[in-house]
Amino acid sequence: MRSVSDTALILELYPPLDSGGSEITTYELYRDQGDLNTAFTPVTSFTGASMIHSMGTADGLVLGKIYTFEFRAKNIIGYSPFSEVLRVGFGKRVLAPTTVTADLTLTGPNYITITWNQVPDDNLATRGYIVEMLRGN
């Protein structure tokens, strides 16, 4: 994944480490319909001429959906196995929480209580937060 926004999703694909002993003649990119358990179909706008490919709503992508992609190469022998799948949400990145505060009355040697304002959803729903705590000396 190279970048994603509410206007474009840009994939950067990498050739396989082993070409099977002969030159790769073409690449194929597939995606689902943005719903779990839907069939993969070829991305017809992908020609394989460049390993960077941009897609958007003109290519049938719908804001707020999470798409799954897979990729494969072909040489004179045949097709490679498909790559690992990549899941990408098409939409704006979630904003960082604001007004993060610590409740020092509910803090101990191994824990801290913090609160923040919920981030408003845009194209993609906020599915959770990650909180990290660094131990000081």
Domain ranges of the chain: 3-89
**AA letter at 123:** N
pLDDT (tens digit, 0 to 9) for every residue of the chain, 137 residues total?
788 888 899 999 988 888 888 889 999 999 999 987 789 999 989 988 889 999 999 899 999 899 999 999 999 999 999 999 999 989 887 778 878 888 888 888 888 888 888 888 777 877 788 887 777 66
Could you tell me how far CA 89 lies from the centroid of its own chain? 6
Question: What token pair was written down for 45?
Answer: 């706008």
Residue 12's Cβ-side half-sphere holds a number of Cα atoms within 13 Å equal to 4
CB-based contact 40:46 (threshold 8 Å):
no
For the domain spanning 3-89, the CATH number is 2.60.40.10
**AA letter at 136:** G
pLDDT of residue 94: 76
Q: List CB contacts of 44: < 8 A, sequence separation 6 or more.
A: none
pLDDT of residue 104: 82
